[in-house]
Amino acid sequence: MTDFAQYDGYKQDFDFYVGPARQDDFRSREFGDRLWADVSRILKTPFDGGTITPDSHEGYNYWFDNDDLSSSLYSGPRESGSGVLDQMPAILTVISRSEDVASSELAERIYAGLTASDDYLVVVFAHNGMPIAAKFDIGDDW
């Protein structure tokens, strides 16, 4: 497993780009709802009181925060193309607000939980835009 702690620090977020493992019959709202529920389950934090709002591009914005963390998800339409990010219609960011749990710990839990499932393709980027973990081969052209 990737050591996310080496990328941790003040204002060091982890951006998860997530796509469906099976590319059939994709619907951004259904995918976003399922991913949002899975992240809530993985973190053992009910996202009660969170918001889900449609945007003007057939996508959906999800937001939740409490004293321990903030979480945002954008689930949009799939892009046509053969690039790695074309397969990733969702972007997830979870930030720790706790003094006891680092954002890297949350990122490790999310990565382990999402990649344990056969439902998702996952690429995690550090704050500087460099990929630090992926469930599939993303190549070296970054």
Q: Which residues contact 136 (CB under 8 A, 6 or more apart)?
A: 121
Give pLDDT tens digits for 19-53: 998 877 789 999 999 999 999 999 999 999 999 99
| Domains identified in the chain, total number | 1
**β-pair type (15-20, 90-96):** antiparallel
Q: What predicted TM-score, i.e. pTM, was given to this entire model?
A: 0.88
Question: What range defines the domain where residue 70 resides?
Answer: 23-134
Give pLDDT tens digits for 78-92: 887 777 777 789 999
| Position 40 in a domain | yes
| Position 139 in a domain | no
| Position 64 in a domain | yes
**Count of beta carbons in the 10 Å neighbourhood of residue 85:** 14
**Exposed, middle or buried, 11 (CB in 10 Å: 0-12/13-18/19+)?**
exposed
| Position 88 in a domain | yes
| Position 5 in a domain | no
| Position 41 in a domain | yes
C-beta separation of 123 from 133 below 8 A? yes
State the distance between the two ends of the chain, measured CA to CA, in whole angstroms. 21
